[in-house]
């Protein structure tokens, strides 16, 4: 699948407006994790969660729950500007917006992870496991 098929042409604010009412977990640079329902998405800069206003473009990531899994997308690895301990080294890229990317979360409960582009250092295709095994078996003298 090509990267071109994943383009949506919408902004992070527009995507969050589609997800109003869903449970979200915000990963902020200095305050850690904040959870709550997306109550309101303002047209320009803010979203309202738990009687607080947040600026989505300043967050590290936004995980939104209760979204069905999709088979669309490609496997990628993501390097972030914040410490993530290789949590995103093999994950499905679902869409690419104007100022964000959307990944399908792993685990038991379906979720999507929205990353502002300011918190992404690079996107790469992970290597196949077979290639890694072959290289590990080769001995150099």
Give dist(CA 132, CA 7) in Å, integer.
31
Residue 140 clears pLDDT 80, i.e. is over it: no
* Token pair recorded at residue 113: 């992870």
pLDDT at residue 47 is higher than 60: yes
Residue 135 reports pLDDT greater than 70 = no
What does the pLDDT read at residue 39?
A: 94
Better-scored residue on pLDDT, 62 or 126: 62
Sorting pLDDT into bands at 50, 70 and 90, what band is 30? Answer: confident
Strands 100-104 and 52-54: unpaired
Q: Is the pLDDT of residue 131 over 50?
A: no
């Amino acid at each position: 699948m090509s990267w071109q098929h994943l383009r949506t042409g919408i902004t992070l604010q527009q995507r969050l407006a589609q997800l109003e009412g869903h449970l979200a977990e915000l990963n902020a640079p200095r305050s850690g994790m904040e959870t709550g329902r997306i109550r309101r998405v303002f047209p320009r800069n803010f979203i309202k969660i738990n009687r607080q206003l947040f600026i989505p473009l300043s967050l590290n990531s936004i995980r939104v729950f209760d979204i069905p899994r999709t088979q669309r997308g490609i496997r990628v690895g993501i390097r972030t500007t914040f410490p993530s301990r290789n949590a995103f080294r093999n994950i499905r890229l679902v869409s690419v917006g104007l100022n964000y990317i959307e990944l399908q979360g792993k685990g038991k409960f379906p979720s999507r992870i929205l990353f502002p582009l300011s918190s992404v250092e690079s996107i790469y295709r992970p290597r196949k496991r077979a290639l890694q095994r072959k290289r590990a078996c080769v001995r150099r003298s």
